[in-house]
Structure 1
């Protein structure tokens, strides 16, 4: 980084010099040309030049080595261009320089559509009106132009005259009409002939482009064109000062811009390196897993199966879940992962765990996708969603089917089987670390499946103790040893604790507790349901269920007693998931002994 900073001034100087050289070279090579003895440069341009060389409204043409300018009234030869005075000298192209002729183009007063303005004063130029009269006009001001035409002045059809040196058309005879209005250099001859006027016409006249940028054409010009026009309208000496200022400012600006570009490049490089590192780690992991069953999809496949992410099923900290359909017409759920944590470790966790297991009560990973920063997981579609919908305070809503305590017990039993399989049924023990109702999904027959292995860890079966750098999971379900290291080592007993809290929540979700608890709860906001139930059991009382069905009372008592054993503060006092499963499958009579109070 220090080396790059040290080189910034040199790089800025090089960039500025190169830019200036390129601009100078570009103007000299592409934007300066000649036609005959006329040098053409900005703001003029020859037809066919690059657009930035000049203003297209000031376009010139080179024909037979003569420079032509086309105005609204016609075409004119360019005799000279003064870039200091901002003037251009023109002569009517219809005039024949070898023999007397009259012009065919009219020079009119300033027109908003014309980028030029007339330099029109009576001391330098004089108006010349060429008239077509139906009757002869006897006046010394009227000059017969028949010597310069093929029409005789005695023709009964036309009488052609030139009216020279008048300020306006007030002296034009009523039988005459103006055919052409032109300009000629002034001269002091009392009775000039048409040949005298013709010589003055061949001297041409001057137009100025100095004011065109302030005319109505200005609204059509770009900001850059206005600046360029302003620059070239300055006298040459001032232009040198501006060039010096531009060069100095350009040098400073060039260094600043180059520094910003270098800084942006460093940021982009680090960002890309970080993502490349994450991508490499994921690819290395995938290549090392030869026994993965899921299919690898492309991101375009993911978009196609979800109909461009049309139907969203849910959203959380991990990302969004969308409903999709495979080519086999099978519905799937597609989890589109959000911003990856720990360089894609959450993605690796999901694929490493769900990709190697197959159990009726563990979510099946159908496929996955990883393309750069885009990562997705494809797994079984669970029509009934997550268990938390049936345990919340809105469980009685018409949108959710109330689950009986017997059905909840059946779900708990199958969840326990799934967790027990994770702990000992694979070649590696898989610790979930986030067992909660939200991560228990239900299929169309309410068969539960443990899902979401974003924080799961894989350990050898023989490892009874695992290491974690930080507590993982959801508050309320996290085992206390993940916070308090003095309680004991972290092991598979952390999932046992979370399952115990899940059992208590399943029992507590039923709205059939007796009024005694309801009254006590209304009078004491700090009443904790599990503690209240434990106190009743410790006094030898029942749990106060309104429903007197013996079977459901036994089920509730069994679930509560098992949960109290699971949520013991010290991990060593908790059973394993295999023992939990056995307790749930056995009779409640074998669980009559109340475990130690599990609450702090």
Structure 2
């Protein structure tokens, strides 16, 4: 923003703002009675409400609230302590949840037995009043948008079931043995929806919140001060109160504060820049959150389980046991309420559009395969997102391939175990490519993303770069290469090598197997040092000449031949022309056969001058 324009705008605006600051008492109210929240996501507390720590002039005596941790609490003389979930100042509506004692089984008992006819808080006169119905047997309502329940907590009698029926419910929808017990029970208002006529579509959700949590709606009835404040709200302004003139007024901007900012122009510019940054970041995060929530709504709620952020903290014991960290994620060990050990991956400050979270949930959330890590749950609250997986006690395959990465000996990777692991990975990839309703392309197959369970069975993990496509779709479109250097197929760098497809995953699998059988890390294809040798080229020359490569393993002749054949399968997988690579189904068939009479493939790479450039 141009600084001269901004200063000029301030100077022109000064007389306009000055006209609104009529009295010293109004200015004092603006200074001492600023809005407050107990939590950033909690309701805003302002006149006629006030916190107990604020001066009495900041609100009406009956409208005093307090903070208890992150919760906003209303202490009512009849209902007792209630959690305030929302306040609609324009409509004079407050949504509350009575906080009942542990001895009380059901919060709705308080609401049914409470008479607030003469109280400052009244039940709203609206079409969203319901009737409490008692039935002697459970039943499935024919119209779930007009009858919700049951909630058996209202009675210790197992033969009594309680439902909430809306005002437009038909008596024929209820069994004959049902009886109306209490009328006029309100369900929570929600003026944040785009359409206020969406009553039927979300009736069941709202009614169940009343049945299970006791959440309800009340209006407040005060003197004409509240009426004046309501007019302010309709103008899009907040309400203030002059204690000297005992009169409400609509708040405007504090002129003296603006003058002080104009005098400290450098500070102002910093504040504007900061606010602009935070505003853009907030809008950016809101767009991502909306995108994620729209996906989760369409995704359904069957499996895996969705946890709140406090529940996630409890699962990880407040993120006490950290298993690892990399990029924009940290992984913690945890335990579900049923005692199942889990690994919790927190997605922190991700620069993407929420794709990593959506990809993981969309791809592995509803599939179950022995060689794919299982997603047991997730958390999505604002920018805080977590993925909860089954715990893999033996970590990743990378620790066992490269001896310098850890102190674990490669002796654990005997030839037979290598073959089992390669076969398990191949079966998992075959399922992703052929066994799902939609083909899943992983795009990041590498040793680090292969986890090992208690029996060293491999499980494919980390689907943050995955892409879904139709099973009959041969070529997919990508805007940029994705994956990890050394495992990325040539066609992802340049379309001159062919189209991007599931064969790109086959290439990554081949590189992984070459690393596993050689114990060496796949070097960069663009080798600059003459002393370095491109791993596939080095292995290919060994296979062609019939030589063996040095492995710190004692092997029989049969095991050596098995390793040679496994290497040939891998060399077929890394053919630079995708059409020459086998499908994962064919790879599984080769690995489950006797690995006999496998033909040595053509040279699976080209000269260094034709290799794809490093991005």
Same fold (TM over 0.5): yes
Partner of 2:568: 561
Q: What corresponds to 1:449 in structure 2?
A: 459
2:101 is aligned to none
- Superimposed CA distance per residue, residues 303-355 of structure 1 (whole angstroms, 9 cap, x where no aligned partner): 00101000000111131000000111110000001122321111101110110
Q: What's 2:244 paired with?
A: none
**Is residue 395–residue 401 contact of structure 1 (8 Å, CA) maintained in 2?**
no
- Alpha carbons of 1:19 and 1:423: their partners in 2 closer, same or farther (altered >3 Å)? same
3-state secondary structure, aligned to 2:560: helix
Instruction: Report what 1:420 is aligned to.
Output: 430
- TM-superposition CA deviations, 1:450-471 (whole Å, max 9, x none): 0000110011111110011111
Q: Is 2:364–2:375's contact at 8 Å kept on the other side of the alignment?
A: yes
Shift in Å, 1:556: 0.7
Return closer, same or farther for 1:488/1:351 CA change in 2, 3 Å cut-off. Answer: same
| Matching of residues 20-35 of structure 1 within 5 Å | 22=24
- Cross-structure match for 1:471: 481
Q: Deviations over 1:423-450 (max 9, x none)?
A: 0100000000000000000011101100
Deviation (angstroms), 1:256: 6.9
Which of 348, 355, 364 lines up with 1:345 in the alignment? 355
Q: 1:13 to 1:258 in 2, by over 3 A?
A: farther
The reply to whether residue 575 of structure 1 matches residue 577 of structure 2 is: no
Cα distance between partner residues in 2 of 1:501 and 1:15: 69
Aligned to 1:365: 375
After TM superposition, the structure 1 stretch with the greater mean CA deviation from structure 2, 533-542 or 555-564, is: 533-542
SS of match in other structure, 2:361: helix
Q: Which residue of 2 aligns with 1:327?
A: 337
Matches within 5 A, 1:500-511: 500-509=510-519
User: Could you tell me which of 363, 366, 374 is aligned with 2:384?
Assistant: 374
Contact 1:296 1:369 in 2 (8 A): yes
Gaps of 5+ in 2: 29-54, 56-255, 522-528, 608-615
Deviations 1:125-145 (A, max 9, x none): xxxxxxxxxxxxxxxxxxxxx
Distance 1:560 1:326 in 2: 41
**Cα distance in 1, alignment partners of residues 533 and 512 from structure 2:** 19
Provide the secondary structure at the position in 1 that maps to 2:482.
coil
Q: What is the aligned partner in structure 2 of residue 158 from structure 1?
A: none
Query: How far apart are residue 485 of structure 1 and its match?
Result: 1.4
Find out whether 1:301 has 2:311 as its counterpart: yes
CA contact (8 A) 1:434 1:473 kept: yes
Counterparts of 1:399 and 1:563 in 2: how far apart (Å)? 23
Does the CA-based 8 Å contact 1:337-1:376 persist in structure 2? yes
What is the Cα deviation at residue 550 of structure 1?
2.3
- String of CA shifts for 1:23-66, please: whole Å, max 9, x gaps: 9987xxxxxxxxxxxxxxxxxxxxxxx9xxxxxxxxxxxxxxxx
Is the counterpart of residue 402 in structure 1 residue 404 in structure 2?
Answer: no
Contact 1:314 1:320 in 2 (8 A): yes
Aligned in 2, Cα 1:12/1:399: closer, same or farther, shift over 3 Å?
Answer: farther
Go from structure 1 to structure 2 and tell me whether the alpha carbon gap of 1:273 and 1:525 turns closer, same or farther (over 3 Å shift): same
Residues 272/526 of structure 1: CA separation in 2 closer, same or farther (3 Å cut):
closer
How far apart are the structure 2 equivalents of 1:429 and 1:351? 15
What do the CA deviations read for 1:349-380 (whole angstroms, capped 9, x no partner)? 11101102110000100000000110000010
1:537 corresponds to which residue? 543
CA contact (8 A) 1:322 1:333 kept: yes
RMSD: 3.3
SS class of match (1:584): helix
* Bigger radius of gyration: 1
Residue 386 (str. 1) matches residue 396 (str. 2): yes
Does residue 284 (structure 1) correspond to residue 294 (structure 2)? The answer is yes
TM (norm. structure 1) is 0.57
Q: Secondary structure at the match of 2:597?
A: helix
The answer (yes or no) to whether the contact 1:16–1:254 under 8 Å persists in 2 is no
- Cα offset, 1:537, TM superposition: 2.5
DSSP-derived class of the 1:465 partner: coil
TM-score (norm. length: structure 2): 0.55
CA distance in 2, matches of 1:475, 1:20: 67
**Matching residue of 2:594:** 587
Q: Who is 1:46 aligned against?
A: none
Displacement of 1:404: 1.0
Q: Structure 1: how far apart are the matches of 2:535 and 2:398?
A: 18
* Distance in 2, Cα, partners of 1:282 & 1:25: 43
1:9 and 1:555, CA in 2 relative to 1: closer, same or farther beyond 3 A? Answer: farther
Gap change, CA 1:563 and 1:538, over 3 Å in 2: same
Aligned partners of 1:561 and 1:595 also within 8 Å: no
Tell me: CA distance 1:316–1:558, structure 2 relative to 1, closer, same or farther (3 Å): same
Where in structure 2 are the equivalents of 1:60-99 lying within 5 Å? none
Relative to structure 1, the CA distance from residue 575 to residue 268 in structure 2 (aligned partners, 3 Å threshold; closer, same or farther) is same
Partner of 2:532: 526
Q: CA deviation at 1:263?
A: 4.9
Output the CA distance in 2 between the equivalents of 1:598 and 1:9. 70
Instruction: After TM superposition, give the deviation of residue 272 of structure 1 in Å.
Output: 1.6
Query: What is the CA-CA distance between 1:393 and the residue it aligns to?
Result: 2.6
Shift of 1:395: 6.8
1:533, CA displacement in angstroms?
Answer: 2.9
Q: What secondary structure, in the 3-state scheme, does the structure 2 residue paired with 1:575 have?
A: coil
Q: Of the candidates 535, 556, 559, which is equivalent to residue 552 of structure 1?
A: 559
1:418 Cα deviation from its structure 2 partner = 0.2
- How many matched pairs? 372
Pair 1:10 & 2:12 matched: yes
| Secondary structure of 1:367 counterpart | strand
How far residue 267 of structure 1 moved from its aligned partner, in angstroms, is 3.2
The CA deviation at 1:599 is 4.7
Q: Which residue of 1 aligns with 2:491?
A: 481
Contact 1:324–1:332 (CA under 8 A) maintained in structure 2: yes
Change (3 A) 1:399 1:262: same
Q: CA deviation at 1:528?
A: 3.9
CA 1:410–1:395 in 2, change beyond 3 Å: closer, same or farther?
farther
- Contact 1:363–1:380 (8 Å) recurs in 2: yes
Q: Is the 8 A contact 2:443 2:465 kept in 1?
A: yes
Counterpart residue number, 2:605:
598
> Is the Cα contact below 8 Å between 1:564 and 1:598 reproduced in 2?
no
Q: Give the distance between the partners of 2:439 and 2:287, measured in 1 at CA.
A: 28
Q: CA deviation at 1:510?
A: 8.2
